[in-house]
Structure 1
Amino acid sequence: MLPNRLKPGDTIGITAPASPVEKEKLEQSFAFFENLGLKIKLGEHVYDQYGYLAGKDTNRLTDFHQMIADRNIKAIIFARGGYGTGRLVDKIDMELIKKYPKIIWGYSDITFLHTAIHQATGLVTFHGPMPASDMIKKDFDTLSAQLFKQLFGPTNLIYSESVSPLTIYREGEATGKIVGGNLSLLVQTLGTPYEICTKNKLLFIEDIGEEPYRVDGMMNQLRLAGKLKDAAGIVIGDFAEAEPNVHPSLSLEEVWKHYFRNYKKPVLAGFRIGHCFPHFSVPLGVKATLSSRTKTLQLSPGVY
């Protein structure tokens, strides 16, 4: 299920389903959206704070539901990630999302919402940079900004080595829906009603602040849960701030080689998707093709 495209003059809603938002940082992003010809409506509780959360669960959930139901809001852009979306998923009105499907955009902790919403409704959602955590930085680059334009019309995306060097861990070519996101959040879905389904799909992973031994443990959990075996291929995004503090240590490259040395499906790494710049935004749930021969990831449009 594809959401409707945006057009100049449309209103986007910004809400905070996870960690608290700094007002100054969020407001610095407004000019970007206004330059795209978009109007902005903030959630009533976007600046709330309740410990490490952006307000009480009920208020964060209410903001999200109100923006889904509001026909004047054509897209929901989450202000930031952090922590907290997993506390909301079992309370989200999925029937409301089916009734009023629209663009939903964010990443990191938002992975829990992406996974739950797509599996419950079939709606394609977007893994991309967020206003209060990424767009306020002076290094928010041209490519990251340009990729927002995929929301204004059906766009076939091709990620090639013109964006960044790519490393092949296993050769091959595979086509399937692309799913996934933040590795630690994907692991949190296991054993819940929202457990990530990777059957015949391209599994995308990224993370930040996780040392190699931690990545190793999470990959092993996915392996034991059958998620690597089920996948059609693996897309390894950016793993920022992953330098080991425990020595001696394996490198991330050694971790990838361990899990994929006997893999029978394509595995490519080096994609600038995640906590990085440029941040290549991707629609999750669309048909995609990963090829080691051309060293590309090709993605179908995420809107119609």
Structure 2
Amino acid sequence: MILPERLYYGDTIGVIAPASPADMKRLNRAIPFFEKMGLNIRLGNYIDEVHGYLAGTDEQRLADFHDMIADTSVKAIIFARGGYGTGRIAKDIDYELIKQNPKIIWGYSDITYLHTTIRQAIDLVTFHGPMLASDIADADFDSLSARLIQQLFKPAKLFYTEDISSLQVLVPGEATGALVGGNLSLLISTLGTAYEIDTTGKLLLLEDIGEEPYRVDAMLNQLKLAGKLTDAAGIIVGDFAEAEPKKEKPSLSLEQVFHDYFADLQCPVMSGFKIGHCLPHFSVPLGTSAKLSTAKKTLTVDAGVK
């Protein structure tokens, strides 16, 4: 496991859009958030490019990513937004370059694909957390979400308890393992590829947005049939925002879907975590050791920086 170096006052962070185009007005509105932390901002050369539903061509987005990795003055890469597109550049990423220049990589949603490929290629810890144009620019971006970004400045364990949100035990137990996962639909898109998510002995985090119960059902069924649920040491069910059925027709509830796929597992499963497309957004490092306890209703995650 490779831990990236922590941030210090005066450091520079790079901001790029490796997936969908960022709303530049929103992105610029979020920049002062980091400047108030004493950080400098370097925008990618192609940050304002638009190529259909992509933030520039695959070559442009990849070039921005490699440029930020290679630039030794850039100590962290925090993505502008997710959307769609990181899977398109995964095969062309220079993972050896990242290994030689390990640094903080922060984002979520479509960035789940990068979290997975980078961790499984070089064992670098990356971070699942809110991004500039999609989250930090919001007027209601909350204090807890903001404070959790401080984990980049000082190594410290993270503790999730019911002081943050109500947690539901689906399968009782306790488990320890590397925390992996993220956006469910992105994890599904890795299956059958060279970047297929490895859940063996891991704590698997799942979250998503805009997926109706039948769609969540289909994706969990695919994970189940691929052996990813039974391989996991434990499962952390994050936020599933905007998951209500969109048509007035019979539907299972999301809770029923979770019961169908998790209740018979031989590992602890707990839901209700405010991790994902939500506020507060509890940011976590991926790849570090974590402990899930349903008896205590806690999730403890080791520090992600050194």
TM-score with structure 1 setting the length: 0.99
Instruction: Tell me the distance in 2 between the aligned counterparts of 1:26 and 1:183.
Output: 26
Note if 1:34 corresponds to 2:44.
Answer: no
User: Counterpart in 2 of 1:219?
Assistant: 220
What do residues 251-275 of structure 1 show as CA deviations (whole Å, max 9, x unaligned)?
0000011112211110000000000
| Amino acid across the alignment from 1:74 | K
Give the Cα separation in 2 of the matches to 1:100 and 1:175: 29
For 1:129 and 1:186, the matched residues in 2 are separated by 18
**Please, which runs of 5 or more residues in structure 1 have no aligned partner?**
none
Paired residue type of 2:195: Y
Partner residue in 1 for 2:265: 263
Structure 1 runs (4+) greater than 2 angstroms displaced: none
**Residue 66 of structure 1 aligns to which amino acid in structure 2?**
D
* Match in the other structure for 1:197: 198
Q: How does 1:5-16 map to 2 (within 5 A)?
A: 5-16=6-17
1:153-192 Cα deviation digits (max 9, x unpaired)? 1010000001000000000000000000000000000000
Residue 230 of structure 2 contacts residue 266 of structure 2 at CA under 8 Å; is this kept in 1? no
Are 2:83 and 1:74 equivalent residues in the alignment? Answer: no
Equivalent residue letter for 2:116: T
Check conservation: 2:20, 2:84, Cα contact below 8 A: yes
Task: Write the mapping of 1:230-269 to structure 2, written as runs, cut at 5 A.
Answer: 230-246=231-247, 247-269=249-271
Matched residues in 2 for 1:148 and 1:294: separation? Answer: 25
2:268 maps to 1:283: no
SS at match of 2:139: coil
CA distance in 1, matches of 2:66, 2:110: 18
- CA shift, 1:15, in A, is 0.3
Q: Secondary structure at the match of 1:47?
A: coil
What percent of counterpart residues are identical?
63
Partner letter of residue 266 of structure 1?
P
Alignment of 1:11-26 (within 5 A): 11-26=12-27
Contact 2:210 2:242 (C-alpha < 8 Å) held by counterparts: yes
Give, in angstroms, the shift of residue 22 of structure 1. Answer: 1.3
Q: Name the structure 2 match of 1:105.
A: 106
1:204-244 CA-partner distances (Å, limit 9, x unpaired) = 00000000000000000000000001000000000000001
Corresponding position of 2:158: 157
Matches within 5 A, 1:97-176: 97-176=98-177
* Counterpart residue type for residue 211 of structure 2: E
The letter for the 1-side match of 2:253 is S
**Which secondary structure does the structure 1 equivalent of 2:132 belong to?**
coil
Distance 1:292 1:140 in 2: 29
Instruction: State the superposition RMSD in angstroms.
Output: 0.5
Separation (CA, whole Å) in 2 of partners of 1:35 and 1:144: 15
The total of aligned residue pairs comes to: 304
Give the Cα separation in 2 of the matches to 1:30 and 1:270: 31
Instruction: Show structure 2 runs of 5+ residues with no match.
Output: none
Distance 1:98 1:263 in 2: 36
Distance 1:106 1:176 in 2: 21
Partner of 2:65: 64
Counterpart code for 2:117: A
Task: Provide the rounded CA distance (Å) in 1 between the counterparts of 2:262 and 2:97.
Answer: 40
**What is the distance in 2 between the residues matched to 1:141 and 1:235?**
22
Mapped to 2, the partners of 1:287 and 1:28 lie a distance apart of 35
Shift of 1:139: 1.1
Q: What are the superposed Cα offsets for residues 125-149 of structure 1, whole Å, 9 maximum, x if unpaired?
A: 0000000010111110000000000
Match of 2:230 in 1: 229
Cα displacement (A) at 1:288: 0.2
SS at match of 2:134: coil
Out of 276, 281, 296, the residue aligned to residue 298 of structure 2 is 296
User: 1:111 Cα deviation (Å)?
Assistant: 0.3
Please name the residue that 1:49 is paired with: 50
Shift of residue 245, structure 1, vs aligned partner: 2.1
Distance 1:237 1:226 in 2: 20
- Look up the equivalent residue of 1:282 and give its one-letter code: V
TM-score of the aligned structures, taking structure 2 as reference length? 0.99
